[in-house]
Amino acid sequence: MANDKKMVEQITSMDEDFAKWYTDICKKAELIDYTSVKGCMVIRPYGYAIWELIQKNLDTRFKETGHENVYMPMFIPESLLNKEKEHVEGFAPEVAWVTHGGSEPLTERICVRPTSETLFCEHYANVVKSYRDLPKLYNQWCSVVRWEKTTRPFLRSREFLWQEGHTIHATADEAKEETIRMLNCYADFHEQDLAIPVIKGRKTESDKFAGAEATYAIEALMHDGKALQAGTSHYFGDGFAKAFDIKYTDKENKLVHPFQTSWGVTTRMIGGLIMTHGDNNGLVLPPAVAPIQVVIIPVQQQKEGVLDAAYALRDRLKGQFRVKVDDSDNSPGWKFSEYEMKGVPLRIEIGPRDIADNKCVTVQRHNREKNFDSLENIEQVVADRLEEVRQGMYEKALANRTARTYACTSIDEIKDALANNGEGFVKAMWCGEEACEDQVKDATGVASRCIPFEQEQLSDRCVCCGKPAKHMVYWAIAY
């Protein structure tokens, strides 16, 4: 090993300080760097590569369901933003305003987009004239700005990357179907590609998106017991269409308003990956979004034939997997630590003895399980090992969620469950009154996360007021 090389720096234990552990991984795994603008971050190449894979996989899913990518401006005139009052009020505290162009004051303030509903509505009003123009299934990949007071890498930043889907339909039923279809798309992506189990449900009225008739969300539980809203899908009805005077001529030659949806996920998914799967050695990445799926470490690489065998193995695998050979002069031990830090799902070790036996050593990142595998059919072996990683990661995350989910029938039970077991999901019945929703949060610290599609009858009474219950709700402290 080169004398000036250090072993991989230690990460703060998550049990000692979870927030510091998270920041350590973001920095030491080279995902981000800080900038001179508070709340804004550099997404470094390795972090951006993860986002590119998330983007690629989701974009494929969107296009398979008929969506097209578009791009809207980043600037929104104040007069346009003000057309939908409820929507404006919801975002007003977080809006960043442009007041000057060069040295000249603008005649009208322009906001840097916090979201793009108003821009899409303006566009729809120009291009939707007939029922033949519908539906329009659009998606946009872009950045948005929200002037957050408290920031943390990936989870909350003043500028972040996301996709926002925007669709417009002839009927309410079509729009409602689209809303749920895209929620299911997000849930499937999280569970299959990110190995993160999620709860699907509807947000309460007090927690829905500004301007929406209904908001649906997928909720995930992090390793520390806090919830993360991992994606949302909104049904707008015809409220935006009326506010922006979007009309079309239907089949009966009547002028009517269409119905809209929007849905989005952001780079906070990377934060979710860290907090769901990471450990005290660093990242643990599911194969679908790992920039390097397989790293090959030549052992005793100075010996004749070892590097050649490593390169030959790489060439066999590279058509099917994202694979790298580390032929640097660092020690094997340093390399093991480095790629554990970066969360590479599968490590292959190959040395003189392995070559002689036509074998290699495979080590899975999520559980460090070591196997001695034949090189004879290594392509299939690697595929099988990576699927074991994905499945193992999902099962571990699901076990954590199960262990940290508490069914409660009273305020006191909620307090006891959290005090004795730590933070997690609380399942409890609710009467539907906002006053009780607020009181549960004030008394216990947990807020409503969603009304799950899969309802359970834990009791027939509200956990707060004792009146007849309408819904079972998931509650939690959230990021």
pLDDT digits (tens, 9 = 90+) for 127-159: 999 999 999 999 999 999 999 989 999 999 999
Per-residue pLDDT band at 8 (split at 50, 70, 90) = low
Are residues 260 and 187 located together in one domain of the fold? Answer: yes
Per-residue pLDDT band at 85 (split at 50, 70, 90) = confident
- Render pLDDT for 107-120 as a digit per residue (tens, 0 to 9): 999 999 999 999 99
Per cent of the chain over pLDDT 70 is: 98
Domain holding 376, by residue range, is: 292-388
Q: Long-range pairs for 353-357 at CB < 8 Å and ≥24 separation? A: 354/299, 355/305, 355/306, 355/309
Q: Is residue 27 part of a domain?
A: yes
Are 263 and 233 spatial neighbours (Cβ–Cβ below 8 Å)? yes
Q: What are phi and psi of 403, to 5 degrees?
A: -65, -25
471: domain CATH number is 3.30.110.30
Environment class of 233 (CB within 10 Å of its CB; exposed 0-12, middle 13-18, buried 19+): buried
The token pair at 448 is 């409503």
Q: Is residue 180 part of a domain?
A: yes
Are residues 257 and 352 located together in one domain of the fold? Answer: no
- Render pLDDT for 201-240 as a digit per residue (tens, 0 to 9): 999 999 999 999 999 999 999 999 999 999 999 999 999 9
Q: Is residue 448 part of a domain?
A: yes
Q: Mean per-residue pLDDT for 440-458?
A: 98
- Count of the separate structural domains present in the chain: 3
Q: Mean per-residue pLDDT for 428-436?
A: 98
Q: Is residue 287 part of a domain?
A: no
Q: Mean per-residue pLDDT for 262-272?
A: 98
Are residues 28 and 131 located together in one domain of the fold? Answer: yes
Residue 70: what pLDDT? Answer: 98
Using only C-alpha atoms, what is the Rg of the chain? 25
Are residues 268 and 200 located together in one domain of the fold? Answer: yes
Residue 468: what pLDDT? Answer: 98
334: domain CATH number is 3.40.50.800
Please indicate, yes or no, whether the overall pTM of this predicted structure exceeds 0.85. Answer: yes
Coil, strand or helix: which one is 141?
Answer: strand
CA separation for the pair 218, 241 (Å, rounded) = 26
Are residues 236 and 199 located together in one domain of the fold? Answer: yes
Per-residue pLDDT band at 167 (split at 50, 70, 90) = very high
Is the pLDDT at 3 greater than 70? The verdict is no
Are residues 175 and 28 located together in one domain of the fold? Answer: yes
Per-residue pLDDT band at 291 (split at 50, 70, 90) = very high
Q: Is residue 241 part of a domain?
A: yes
Q: Average pLDDT, whole number, for the chain?
A: 96
Of 249, 277, 305, the position where a domain reaches its end is 277
Q: Mean per-residue pLDDT for 415-434?
A: 98
Q: Is residue 167 part of a domain?
A: yes
Q: Write down the residue that tokens 């916090």 correspond to.
A: 114
Q: Mean per-residue pLDDT for 316-341?
A: 96
Instruction: Give whole-number Cα distances, 113 to 26, 80, 81, 152, 359, in Å.
Output: 27, 12, 10, 20, 55
Of 223, 249, 277, the position where a domain reaches its end is 277
Residue 411: what pLDDT? Answer: 97
Q: Mean per-residue pLDDT for 340-369?
A: 97
CA separation for the pair 33, 421 (Å, rounded) = 35
Are residues 266 and 142 located together in one domain of the fold? Answer: yes
Are 389 and 285 spatial neighbours (Cβ–Cβ below 8 Å)? no
Q: Is residue 303 part of a domain?
A: yes
Are residues 211 and 328 located together in one domain of the fold? Answer: no
Are residues 271 and 334 located together in one domain of the fold? Answer: no
Is the pLDDT at 1 greater than 60? The verdict is no
266: domain CATH number is 3.30.930.10
CA separation for the pair 373, 394 (Å, rounded) = 24
Query: Hey, how many other C-beta atoms are within 10 angstroms of the C-beta on 12?
Result: 17
Residue 4: what pLDDT? Answer: 39
Residue 7: what pLDDT? Answer: 52
Query: Hey, how many other C-beta atoms are within 10 angstroms of the C-beta on 248?
Result: 20
Per-residue pLDDT band at 185 (split at 50, 70, 90) = very high
DSSP-derived pairing of the beta strands 259-266 and 227-237: antiparallel
Are residues 203 and 321 located together in one domain of the fold? Answer: no
Distance linking the first and last C-alpha atoms of the chain: 41
Q: Is residue 430 part of a domain?
A: yes
Are residues 384 and 450 located together in one domain of the fold? Answer: no
Are residues 258 and 153 located together in one domain of the fold? Answer: yes
Secondary structure string (H, E, C) spanning the chain: CCCCCCCCCCCCCCCCCHHHHHHHHHHHCCCEEECCCCCCEEECHHHHHHHHHHHHHHHHHHHHCCCEECCCCCEEEHHHHCCCHHHHHHHHHHCEEEEEECCEEEEEEEEECCCCHHHHHHHHHHHCCEHHHCCEEEEEEEEEECCCCCCECCCECCEEEEEEEEEEECCHHHHHHHHHHHHHHHHHHHHHCCCCCCEEEECCHHHCCCCCCEEEEEEEECCCCCEEEEEEEEEEECHHHHHCCCCEECCCCCEECCEEEEEEEECHHHHHHHHHHCECCECCCCHHHCCCCEEEEECCCCCCCHHHHHHHHHHHHCCCCCEEECCCCCCHHHHHHHHHHCCCCEEEEECHHHHHHCEEEEEECCCCCEEEEECCCHHHHHHHHHHHHHHHHHHHHHHHHHHCEEECCCHHHHHHHHHHHCCCEEEEEECCCHHHHHHHHHHHCCEEEEEECCCCCCCCECCCCCCECCEEEEEECEC
Is the pLDDT at 6 greater than 80? The verdict is no
- Render pLDDT for 9-67 as a digit per residue (tens, 0 to 9): 789 999 999 999 999 999 999 999 999 999 999 999 999 999 999 999 999 999 999 99
Per-residue pLDDT band at 86 (split at 50, 70, 90) = confident
Query: Hey, how many other C-beta atoms are within 10 angstroms of the C-beta on 39?
Result: 19
Of 358, 388, 418, the position where a domain reaches its end is 388
